[in-house]
Each structure stands twice: as structure tokens, then as C-alpha cells.
């Protein structure tokens, strides 16, 4: 994952109601909740600042009505923000013409929503190829790319099936394949798995992580499920009443909540799920133990390895270099903390 920012939001507001722009400009760019309420306005997104780095999964989460879905639609200008800046690849999207935004959405952004919105009269292959047809891509090229996407999401052999012949999980895979067909630089997913049964949802999360390991997309993922967030996210932003109250790694949010709201939001999350091996490992000394783990693994993932490893695990990076040691006693201490 790069440290380069692919998408940057600066002071983004979305206020619903007549006179919204005036309310922002006449209050120093930051009207408070009381000012908005007295003017009959609703601040759905309030002064949001964030950066999404190239290649990361950035999760935006919050309870229903917190503004997370409105924010993600502002990022692509499906909803017009009231004020602020949204910088994508160095270009301010709020200064772009509608024609330019259509071009960006068609060629550089992919979107997956909770409701699959597949076209019932088209086969799986034609549903996946549809955005390429809209782009004007010739049929042999779009069919070839659609076939690759169908195979990528594990639906090879289902190309001629219709949506009604597929399970909910399979339909969601078609939606994912369709959004990937345009080969987007930036991928928006708004609660894509929330309508699925728990077992299928877990399978789709596994599939999503597998796809990301191959594709290395820059992803903005919306969810209200903290377990899903900590499983998928590189970083998480928690929203409340249209504002981002804290953004950071899952580990930072659980171990160092910035507000009482974040503390309550993360209260039932087991520390072992979010604390990484890198945070507990000690300096490596002596020979490498036979059993090893990754510094990016969670303590919950590493703990079962001690069953056959004795008191110490080696910690090795992606190139197989030893970077530290993980002790059983340190793992037990974290797991006893809940």
C-alpha cells in the first residue's frame, strides 16, 4: 500500500434545505448544529476531512443516519456537496463539469451498492459487460474482459445464467464483477454484503480480501458492522451526526478511542482481533523458531500457532526475513484483557 493520497476531502459539507450555501458562507464555513436546525436545514455531512491512500481499504462506518452513505455519494458527486474540496488524482471534482464527472465515473470509478441492481433480462456475461457497452467498447473486447471478471469472482460456468437463477451471494459477485469490468482506480462499496446471510457474508468478505490481494485497488467501503470493518480495513473512519469523530487503524480506535462515543462503539471488540503482532513482537535474538507468523497478523490469528510452537513464534516479513519474536506470555496478556 502506498502512502500517496489517491482521494482527499477538505472541509466537505452536505446540507439539505433552502439556503444551504448561504448558511455555510455566513458562518465562517462551519455552521454549528443549532444554527442549521434553527434555519430548517439538515447537516448530513459536516466539515469532513480525510485522505484515502492508494491501494488501501478505507472503511467509513457509523450507525444508521450518521451520514456515511451520503458522504460516499458526495465523493463521486452522485450527490452534489454543498461546499469543500474533493481531490481525486490531483483534480478537484467539485470544479469538474458534469460531462467530465460522467467520464470519470465511467472510466476511473467502480461502485457496488447493497442492492445488486442487475438487469434481469441480461445474462451474467452481458450484465458484467454492460458498463463497457455504455463506454462504447467493441463487443469482442467487452465480452473478453467480462469473461475475465466473471472468472475472477469465481463464477466461471455461469456466464449464460440469468440473475433469477443465481443465489444472493452469486448475484453480489456479478455486481462486483460488473464494477470491476471498467478497471476502476477508485472503488466505492456501500454496505455491499449487509443483505446477505451470515455464512454467505463471511464468504463474500473472504472473496473480497482475495480480490484485493490480487488487484490492489483503492477502496472506500461503507459498513455499520464493526466486526466487518476490522476484518477488512487498513484504516477506519467513524461517523456520528455527519461528522468524522475519529479515523485511524482498527488498533488505534480500540486501544485509544478519541471520544466516549468511539469507546462505546468499540467496547465489545476483542483486543486480540485488532492488536497486530507487530505491536507485541520483541527484538529477534538467536535462531528463527520453526513456527512463524506475519507482523500484520492479528493476535487472534497468531495465537493458535502456539499449540505446536512452544513459547515463542518467529515473526517474518513478506520476504521471509526475521523481524522479531512473539512470546506466548504477551499474547495471553492481551487475550485476558478481552
Q: Give 92's strand partners.
A: 87
Q: What is the pLDDT of residue 114?
A: 72
* Tens-place pLDDT, residues 109-145: 988 887 768 899 999 999 999 999 988 899 999 999 9
191 shares its domain with 79: yes
Number of H helices, E strands in the chain: 15, 13
Domain assignment of residue 58, given as a range: 5-108+184-269
* Tens-place pLDDT, residues 180-208: 888 889 999 998 888 778 888 888 888 88
Q: Which of 219-228, 255-264, 287-296 has the lowest mean pLDDT?
A: 287-296
Which of 213, 236, 269 is where one domain is finished? 269
**Is residue 171, in this structure, part of any structural domain at all?**
no
Q: Which of 254-258, 324-328, 333-337 has the lowest mean pLDDT?
A: 333-337
Reply yes or no on whether the pLDDT at 234 is more than 80. yes
Q: For residue 229, what is the domain's CATH number?
A: 3.40.50.300
Q: Give 315's strand partners.
A: 293, 324
Q: What is the pLDDT of residue 338?
A: 60
DSSP per-residue string spanning 275-304: -BHHHH-B---SSPPSSEE-TTSBHHHHGG
* Number of folded domains that form the chain: 2
3-class secondary-structure state, position 211: helix
243 shares its domain with 296: no
C-alpha to C-alpha distance for 68 and 224, rounded to whole angstroms: 9
Distant-in-sequence, close-in-space partners of 162: CB < 8 Å, separation ≥ 6: 120, 121, 122, 123, 124
Amino acid at each position: 500500500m502506498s502512502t500517496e493520497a489517491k482521494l482527499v476531502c477538505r472541509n466537505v459539507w452536505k446540507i439539505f434545505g433552502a439556503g444551504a450555501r448561504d448558511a455555510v458562507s455566513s458562518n465562517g464555513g462551519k455552521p454549528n448544529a443549532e444554527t442549521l436546525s434553527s434555519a430548517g436545514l439538515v447537516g448530513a455531512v459536516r466539515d469532513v476531512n480525510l485522505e484515502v491512500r492508494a491501494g488501501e481499504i478505507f472503511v467509513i462506518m457509523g450507525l444508521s443516519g450518521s451520514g456515511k452513505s451520503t458522504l460516499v455519494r458526495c465523493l463521486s458527486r452522485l450527490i452534489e456537496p454543498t461546499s469543500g474540496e474533493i481531490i481525486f488524482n490531483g483534480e478537484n471534482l467539485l470544479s469538474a463539469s458534469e460531462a467530465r464527472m460522467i467520464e470519470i465515473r465511467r472510466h476511473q470509478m467502480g461502485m457496488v451498492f447493497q442492492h445488486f441492481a442487475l438487469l434481469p433480462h441480461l445474462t451474467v456475461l452481458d450484465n458484467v459487460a454492460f458498463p463497457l457497452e455504455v463506454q462504447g467498447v467493441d463487443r469482442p473486447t467487452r465480452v473478453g474482459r467480462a469473461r475475465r471478471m466473471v472468472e475472477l469472482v469465481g463464477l466461471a460456468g455461469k456466464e449464460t445464467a440469468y440473475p433469477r437463477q443465481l443465489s444472493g451471494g452469486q448475484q453480489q459477485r456479478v455486481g462486483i464483477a460488473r464494477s470491476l469490468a471498467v478497471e476502476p482506480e477508485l472503488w466505492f462499496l456501500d454496505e455491499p454484503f449487509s443483505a446477505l446471510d451470515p455464512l454467505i457474508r463471511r464468504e463474500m468478505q473472504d472473496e473480497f480480501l482475495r480480490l484485493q490481494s490480487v488487484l490492489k485497488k483503492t477502496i472506500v467501503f461503507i459498513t455499520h458492522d464493526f466486526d466487518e470493518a476490522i476484518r477488512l480495513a487498513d484504516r477506519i473512519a467513524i461517523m456520528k451526526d455527519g461528522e468524522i469523530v475519529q479515523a485511524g487503524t482498527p488498533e488505534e480506535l480500540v486501544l485509544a478511542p478519541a471520544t466516549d462515543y468511539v469507546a462505546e462503539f468499540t467496547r465489545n471488540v476483542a483486543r486480540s482481533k485488532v492488536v497486530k503482532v507487530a505491536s507485541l513482537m520483541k527484538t529477534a535474538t538467536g535462531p528463527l523458531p520453526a513456527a512463524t507468523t506475519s507482523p500484520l497478523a492479528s493476535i487472534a490469528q497468531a495465537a493458535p500457532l502456539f499449540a505446536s510452537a512452544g513459547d515463542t513464534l518467529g515473526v517474518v516479513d513478506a520476504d521471509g526475513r526475521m523481524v522479531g519474536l512473539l512470546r506466548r506470555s504477551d499474547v495471553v496478556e492481551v487475550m485476558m484483557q478481552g
